[in-house]
Structure 1
Amino acid sequence: MQLTMHQAAVPPLRRTLTNLIGVLAKAQAHAESQGLDPAVLLGSRLYPDMFPLTRQVQIAADIARRGVARLAGVEAAAVADDETSFEQLIVRLRNAIGELDGYSPEQLEGSAGRQVTVPVGRGQTITMEGWPFLSSFVLPNVYFHVTTAYGILRHNGVVLGKRDYLGEP
């Protein structure tokens, strides 16, 4: 059996963003139970030169939805980065999952060899074929930002474990 690009992209990204929703829900419950202002957790970072939790979540959602859109040969709509609560971040993740679910296997058919150009900052772009774009850029970036969000929350005392990150089998 050969793995399709849709199978390689949508289910793992969907699962990862869904698990992040669970992690954020636990963080919200932790803040409430400890009497913490949620803004403290939302603005926390692992190191001063790293993005805070809110931005980590926004980036994870955007890379997932924009990555699959690019594989489908379309451009994803811009989304404002204006979330200030756990609830709003969870809505953003649910919307990103909805976008992922909107792509059919046929839309990603043939994308493994399609050239994909993506901005990487400071007016620069990179171009690569679809499979390396997914396997070496999209998935690792999403995992990095989700792992960083997990680390920020764990560092701040939110009780999380590996199963929260990986989800149920």
Structure 2
Amino acid sequence: MPLTMYSASVPIFLRTLGHIGKWLDKAEAHAQAKKFDIGVLLGTRLSPDMLPFTRQVQMTSDAAKFGAARLAGIESPKFDDVETTLPELRERIAKTVAFLESIPAEKIVGSDDRDVTVPRRDGPLTLKGEVYLRTFVLPNFYFHTNMIYALLRHNGVELGKSDYLGPLGG
């Protein structure tokens, strides 16, 4: 099957968001086993000037939903970034997954030449869909995904490469 703008985006987001959900389960089990409040982990940062764990989850969600919506030429749902608990983060991921699953593939297929405008602090940036996906959406999505993984590992959650990659082959 040929690689399309859809297959290079939405299924990847869905797969990785599924992995993150499993990581959250392992984080909860780790906190229970070590007898500490999971809220402590949710506020951790790798560095004082980096965003905390909860914000990394929110940013991963945003990268997926805004990326897919802009490629499809539709509005993305607005999430208020108010999650402070593990159940709320799980719900955020579930809402993101539901939105992604609602986007018909044909809305994104062929978006490689479509102009996509991204609002930015220093003014809007317009890119072709393929460039937007390759140089903005996927790097941002994986940056924040990697921060979630790194924060969990840094705090003792037993995750390995297989948790990051998930089952291979399909």
Distance 1:92 1:140 in 2: 21
The residue aligned with 1:146 is: 145
1:57 Cα offset (Å): 0.3
Gaps of 5+ in 2: none
In the other structure, the counterpart of 2:30 is 30
Name the counterpart of 2:76: 76
Distance 1:167 1:109 in 2: 25
Aligned residue for 1:29, secondary structure, equals helix
Displacement of 1:119 after TM fit? 1.6
Q: How large is the RMSD of aligned CA atoms in angstroms?
A: 1.1
CA distance in 2, matches of 1:135, 1:16: 17
Deviations 1:70-106 (A, max 9, x none): 0011120211111111111111111111111111121
Q: CA–CA distance in 2 between the matches of 1:46 and 1:119?
A: 27
Q: Which runs of 4+ in 1 moved over 3 A?
A: none
The question of whether the paired residues in 2 share the 8 Å contact of 1:13 and 1:139 is answered with no
Tell me which amino acid in the other structure corresponds to 1:148.
Answer: M
Give the whole-Å Cα distance in 1 for the aligned partners of 2:6 and 2:166.
20
Tell me how far apart the structure 2 counterparts of residues 123 and 35 of structure 1 sit (CA, whole Å): 45
**1:23·1:164 contact (CA, 8 Å) conserved in 2?**
yes
Give aligned-pair identity as a percent: 48
Partner-residue secondary structure (3-state), 2:124: strand
1:102 aligns with 2:108: no
Q: CA deviation at 1:167?
A: 1.1
| Partner deviation per Cα, 1:11-38 (whole Å, 9 max, x = no partner) | 1111111111111111111111111111
Measure how far apart 1:118 and its partner are.
Answer: 0.7
* 1:124, distance to aligned residue in structure 2 (A): 2.2
Query: How is 1:152-163 mapped onto 2 (pairs within 5 angstroms)?
Result: 152-163=151-162
| SS of equivalent to 2:3 | coil
Shift of 1:109: 2.8
Query: What is the distance in 2 between the residues matched to 1:124 and 1:43?
Result: 31
Structure 1 stretches of 5 or more lacking a match? none
Within 5 A, what are the aligned runs for 1:127-146?
Answer: 127-146=126-145
- Count how many residue pairs are aligned between Structure 1 and Structure 2: 168
Answer whether contact 1:6 1:104 (CA < 8 A) is retained: no
Q: Distance in 2 between matches of 1:20 and 1:163?
A: 12
